[in-house]
Structure formats: structure tokens, C-alpha cells
Amino acid sequence: MAVAEKEIKKKISYEEYLAMPEINLRYEITDGEMIMSPAPTINHQWIISNITDKLRPFVKKKKLGVALAAPVDVLVRRTPLKTRQPDVFYISLKRSRKTIAELRAMPVLEIAPDLAVEILSPSDRRSVLKEKLQDYIKIGVLECWVVSPQAETVEVLRLSSGEAVTVKLYSIGDTLRSEVLADFKMKVADVFSDY
């Protein structure tokens, strides 16, 4: 009986990662290994658009920073290489001490977003979300919104002191608020709306 050999996967370094061509697919890198995600559902992308459509003009009008949607790599660590791709994120110019031009020139985001938004997929396990939250805490993300399309809820979490603390769980009929964007308001119904 032949012994099955383990498939050896090449792990990439930070330098190799920077030399790679642009990839417009969803993936994250854990311990140097690229882990591809299945294509998001239309509903997932719809929710990303709904949030970005409200968040981006708010941030832009007040000249607070930048709000972007995935895929954008956020560096967790260089060795072994690890990245995350929040579905939506916001970076404060004041906190980051970067200009828009400096942010646009970055090949990978090497500063922590103030806000990361994670939209749950039906296949997501709670342990995967917990790992993402721990990475966000490690790099200094201040707030995370966990969006559940199935429950039509948005859980706002404060990330500090090594833990994720629920600030509030918002549902249909509520108005979503943020601690990092004090004046920002969005009806939860608009997160999941058709238009």
C-alpha cells in the first residue's frame, strides 16, 4: 500500500506578494498561503454597495478620509505573511496621518482601518469571524460591523483591549450608528434594501 504524500504548497513572502500581478479575486493570505474565497453572491455584493453608497459620500463630504469596498488587502503581518479583505472599510486621514494621494499609492494597506465591515455568508463559521476580529484587534481596527443577511441585522463591535465588545445589535426598523463616525446614520432597512 502506497503512502499518500502530502501536497506541498509554496508559501509566498511579502516581497513575492508585492511582485505579484493585480488579482481581482477575493482571497486572504494566512501564513504565506493564498486562500481563495468563492465568488460572493449577488446579495452579498448588493449589501456591500448599499453600505458603500451611504458611507462613501458621508466621508467624502466631510473630508474625513476614505471608504472603500473589497477587494483590498489589509496587511496583518509580513512574516509569515497574512492579509485580510474586509467587505467595506473606512480610514480616517487624521488617525492614519496619510493624505489621499499617499493612501492611493499603497500597494497594500499597511495601516489599520478605523472601521471594517464583514458581511456574513451562509457558509461562514463563527470561528472564522472570531479569527478575523482577532486580526483586526491586533492591527488596531477600532470598530467592526458584522452584517447578517439572513437575520437582517448589523452588530456594531468596539475592538479594543484585546476583545470585541458588542456596542449594539441593530435590526430592521433601527437606525445604524457608529462610534468612529459620530454623525453617520443609516437605516438598517437601507442596508438590505432593493434600491
pLDDT at 30: 73
Of 143, 4, 135, 125, nearest to 74 by C-alpha is: 135
Q: Domain containing 163: what range?
A: 14-191
Low-confidence ranges of the chain (pLDDT < 70): 1-10, 17-18, 21-29, 31-32, 34-38
pLDDT at 37: 67
Q: Is 177 within a domain?
A: yes
The four Cα atoms 13, 14, 15, 16 give a dihedral, to 10 degrees, of 50
> pTM of the prediction?
0.85
Q: Is 146 within a domain?
A: yes
27-80 per-position pLDDT tens digit: 666 766 766 666 788 999 999 999 999 999 999 999 999 999 988 889 999 988
Q: Is 165 within a domain?
A: yes
pLDDT at 1: 39
Q: Is 81 within a domain?
A: yes
Count up the domains in the chain and report the number: 1
Q: Would you say the C-alpha torsion 47, 87, 39, 170 has a positive or negative sign?
A: negative
Read off φ and ψ for residue 49, nearest 5 degrees. -65, -45
Domain CATH number, residue 147: 3.90.1570.10
